[in-house]
Amino acid sequence: MKVKVRRMSEIDALKILVWHYAPPYSWYDFEQTNSDFHVLLKDQYYCVIGEEGELIGFFCYGTAAQVSLGVEQGFYRDQDYLDIGLGMNPMLCGKGYGARFFLIGMDYAKHQFGFSKFRLTVASFNQRAIKMYLKVGFVEIGRFIVSTYEFIVMIYERES
């Protein structure tokens, strides 16, 4: 599968704003607001486009992939790691594409930003994603709670 990674465009952002995930993953749905629209257009957001021009998903890097309470608790101090976040088209979720998709985002970041160490934060209820992150090679380094949600911070250190 050939894909292209590019900066988020306004059209990409509008498409993502209407994505709806099945519960319990609906927690990841964006609000259809100007605020969320502008968040997606920040420099830290990139889209993955398939061979037919379809929007496969997006990645965000750096502070865009961090959770504010995790910042306060010191989870993101180590600057040797690039924080990475993602969203895959809901039509593709749960079909075994996650690891391949995630590796595209890591590979892009390695070449574009020069990082080989990654960090991510995931809601603990998202067992589907956690299983995939562990498969790719991430390990848990800590947890914190925001409101009623527990978050897990994971790192990847393999040199490849």
% of the chain at pLDDT higher than 70: 98
Tens-place pLDDT, residues 74-90:
999 999 999 999 999 99
Residues 54, 72: Cα–Cα separation, whole Å: 38
**What pTM was estimated for this model as a whole?**
0.93
| CA dist., res. 43 & res. 146, Å (int) | 26
The Cβ of residue 142 has, within 10 Å, a number of other Cβ atoms equal to 14
pLDDT for residue 2: 87
Residue pLDDT, tens place only, 115-158: 999 999 999 999 999 999 999 999 999 999 998 899 999 999 87
Sign (positive or negative) of CA dihedral 148, 33, 26, 144:
negative
Residue 160 has pLDDT above 60, yes or no: no
DSSP summary character for residue 33: S
Give the three-state DSSP class for 46. strand
Give how far Cα 117 sits from Cα of 86, 125, 144, Å: 16, 24, 21
126, 25 Cβ separation under 8 angstroms: yes
